[in-house]
Amino acid sequence: VVIFDLQPPPAAAAIDAWERVDVTDWEAVSDAVDRIVNRTGAIDVVIANAGISVRRPFLEMSAKDVQSVIDVNLLGVMALWQAAARHMVRARRGVLLATASTNGSAGYPRYADYNATKAAVLALSRTLALELAPHVRTACVSPGYVLTPMQRTEYSDAQLDALNRRIPARRHANPDEVAAAFAYLASAEASYITGQEIVIDGGELAGSTAADHGIAFPDPTEDP
């Protein structure tokens, strides 16, 4: 297991190597993938997981801000998948995986740019499932709310409890539950799955999302 990241992983992480890679630099991504293949002889699975988001209303987004989200969330996936796919096509085997989001399938206010990139990743997966068939598979995991350490710092206990009550499962996902979906998609048991997504959202998309609404035009019944 090799991690590409700007920062080194925790010392306890079960990995074989770490490469400092900026996913917005296509040449650097390609060079890093080539180094790994030259060192190990093959590349079996890649997971494009890098992603950023900034919560802000659509009317306040700048071109620079939006471009930075696109560069990481969409173009970063394309860079890694393309670099890996070149080796996988030659080897006639491989799995391309990515972290999408429930935001790619439903509207979440204040995340217009993020939502658009995640929808694009789903479309990319479906497209490449056809282009790279039958030997290279693609798939996405689309999490809803996941209680990562970064996510937890954004909530007070009261805020977390209030949001959990709006999720049918009444809780956030554990990161291990998302990892388990990736492990399945990478395995031989998922050999007939390509161009698809696994949604892990505690039932949120079964109805409406837990996101708020009425941003540009506040609820007239509420006090200003």
**Residues with active-site annotation:** 114
Burial class (CB in 10 A: 0-12, 13-18, 19+), 73: buried
Handedness of CA 55, 60, 64, 66 (dihedral sign): positive
Non-local (6+) Cβ contacts of 168 within 8 A are 202, 203, 204, 206, 207
Euclidean distance between CA atoms 60 and 54, whole angstroms: 11
Name residue 61's amino acid: M
Q: Which segments of the chain are extended strands (E)? A: 2-5, 17-20, 45-48, 94-99, 136-143, 196-200
For residue 36, what are the β-bridge partners?
none
Q: Which residue has the tokens 């941003």?
A: 215
Q: Is 140 helix (H, G, I), strand (E, B) or coil?
A: strand
Q: What are phi and psi of 143, to 5 degrees?
A: -80, 155
Q: Which residue has the tokens 């770490």?
A: 18
Euclidean distance between CA atoms 7 and 50, whole angstroms: 12
Angle, CA 145 vertex, CA 29 and CA 147 arms, to 5°: 85
